[in-house]
Chain A
């Protein structure tokens, strides 16, 4: 038992080192910048949906002379559309993260010139 464990340990260590080499840790500053960009992006999705919905409702109101009913309807629909945009954006990110997790699995170093530019 102890024999196999001893031989397993260096393998684990080597695997970890290989993983580290294949997928180096991201720079924390880059991670913070990315998170900041994400945050402003998601906040904007919600606001833009509401603005577009309300503006659309308002112009329809002015055209049809039904102020304020279509504005209110447009505002509410815009709110829903904003949340839907938000949900889609988050889902897209979530899909990317699970892809990144898949990519984080140990893999063989790629020595192909075409692919390893950066």
Chain B
């Protein structure tokens, strides 16, 4: 029986080495491509014959898009429309990757800190670049809340900088920790079912309990998968808002 952490192992499928770096095509890469294909199929065939009165599939695509547009409008305002494609791509990739990870034998792409931190670091750098592009050097007044008395400045500015630097860490660790913890729990309870079943007799009957627990956990994990994708996209819009509309 596999250990609870074995599901996160990265196994190379096709080894590639570039300039001494291991850039093999792994199971993680394969699942990322599978997720992208799933998204592409969902979007393309949903909108292939775009009708004025949408069918079910088209409604699903449009509803998802409306949802992201609503979130951006609410948090950024009219200036945020240009960022809808970015937020939408981010949201749908994380959402589909989270849900695909719940399939049996699947590999959860978002359960790796390397993946989530790559997203978060990209968003972090993007926020700084957009802020400087939109507001020039006055963007750095972001680190100084308006109305700060001069004698508090040496204290407030480092605190604001630390608070800003902690953003990519909270953003990435939240998603990674939620996905990893949930999948470990699922695996452990599934392991109980197997070992109790193998024990036979009265123990096999007791095995119904962890099985029921796993069913309940699965429902919870499905919610967590959606909520975490939503939270990630929501916080990205909140952070982008700080760069686009310089305010506190």
> A: which residues have CB within 8 A of B?
29-30, 32-34, 36-37, 40-41, 44-45, 48-49, 51-53, 56, 74, 77-78, 80-82, 84-85, 92, 114-115, 117-118
A37 to B174, CA, bound (A): 9
Contact A41 to B231, CB < 8 A, known contacts A56-B165, A118-B67 = yes
Residues of A within 8 Å of B66, CB to CB, are 114-115, 117-118
Contact A49 to B63, CB < 8 A, known contacts A30-B223, A41-B231 = no
Q: Are the CB atoms of A52 and B63 closer together than 8 Å?
A: no
Contact A84 to B163, CB < 8 A, known contacts A37-B231, A117-B63 = yes
Q: Are the CB atoms of B166 and A37 closer together than 8 Å?
A: no
Contact A49 to B223, CB < 8 A, known contacts A37-B228, A41-B174, A44-B173 = no
Number of chain B residues whose Cβ lies closer than 8 Å to a Cβ of chain A: 27
**A80 closest partner in B (C-beta):** B159
Q: Which of B62, B160, B163, B177 has the most A CB atoms < 10 Å from its CB?
A: B163
**B181 closest partner in A (C-beta):** A40
Residues of A within 8 Å of B227, CB to CB, are 33-34, 37
From 145 to 171 in chain B, residues with beta carbon under 8 angstroms from any chain A beta carbon are: 155, 158-160, 162-163, 165-166, 169-170
Residues of A within 8 Å of B173, CB to CB, are 44, 48
Q: Are the CB atoms of A29 and B223 closer together than 8 Å?
A: yes
